[in-house]
Structure formats: structure tokens, C-alpha cells
């Protein structure tokens, strides 16, 4: 069984990769590894060495510590990127830049109506 922290860091890697609009193949290519290795990292099946995590932080333009932010004292892992969130990120990334502000405003208006 993968350790909870490895699963958490893997989910954060997946989340950031989606935010950047990269496929596993593209991230793997940029890191000099296979997309299968990216899959294993994202599932937590393989641990990510600190040097590799640092490399990912540079490729994904984020801070190194971002990958572990949100860990609580009990190392509870939550679903960070669900399939629905993944689809939303993809749709947003595919939206032309000049329309993104309108899309965000629409989503914020919709979210306020249910409160």
C-alpha cells in the first residue's frame, strides 16, 4: 500500500499538471522520464525523490513546498482532483484567454445562488 503522504504529493502533482494544461507524456518528456512513471507518481505507487519534486516544481512553475501544503497532522488525504474537476480544468484551459474572465464570473455567480 502506498503511504498517505506519497498519495497526497502525487495528487498535488496531478492537480498542478492539470492546472498547467500538460499531459503526462509532456510532463514526462520535460522531466526526462516516461509517462508511465508520471502515472506511478500521481497514484502514489512510487515515491517522488526530493530532487525530482524540485525538478517538477521548476517545470510546473510552482514552489517546491506547494506539493505538501495542506497536509494536516494526521496526514489525511482528500480527493484533490476529481474527474469532474479535471474536466473543468481542461475546459478552462481550452477557453480562449479573452473569455476566461467571463467564465469565472459566471461560475462565481452560479455558486452564490446556491448559498
Higher-pLDDT residue of 3 and 114 is 3
Instruction: Determine the length of the chain.
Output: 115
In this structure, are residues 103 and 92 in contact, taking their beta carbons and an 8 Å threshold? yes
pLDDT in tens, 45-72: 999 999 999 999 999 999 998 898 877 7
Give the pLDDT of residue 76: 52
CATH 1.10.260.40 at 4-81, yes or no? yes
The count of other CB atoms within 10 Å of the CB of residue 77 is 20
- Residue 94, all three cell numbers: 481550452
Among 30, 73, 35, 33, residue whose Cα is nearest residue 49: 33
Q: Given a cut of 70, is residue 80 above it in pLDDT? A: no
pLDDT in tens, 2-47: 888 898 999 999 999 998 999 999 999 999 999 999 999 999 999 9
Give the pLDDT of residue 70: 79
Give the pLDDT of residue 109: 87
Q: Given a cut of 70, is residue 115 above it in pLDDT? A: no
Amino acid at each position: 500500500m502506498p503511504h498517505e503522504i506519497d498519495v497526497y504529493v502525487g495528487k498535488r502533482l496531478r492537480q498542478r499538471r492539470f492546472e498547467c494544461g500538460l499531459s503526462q507524456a509532456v510532463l514526462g518528456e520535460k522531466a526526462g522520464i516516461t509517462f508511465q512513471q508520471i502515472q506511478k507518481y500521481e497514484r502514489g505507487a512510487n515515491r517522488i525523490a526530493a530532487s525530482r519534486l524540485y525538478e517538477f516544481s521548476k517545470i510546473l512553475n510552482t514552489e517546491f513546498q506547494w506539493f505538501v501544503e495542506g497536509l494536516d497532522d494526521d496526514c489525511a488525504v482528500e480527493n484533490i482532483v476529481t474527474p469532474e474537476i479535471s474536466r473543468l480544468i481542461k475546459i478552462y484551459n481550452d477557453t480562449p484567454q479573452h473569455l476566461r474572465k467571463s467564465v469565472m464570473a459566471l461560475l462565481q455567480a452560479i455558486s452564490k445562488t446556491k448559498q
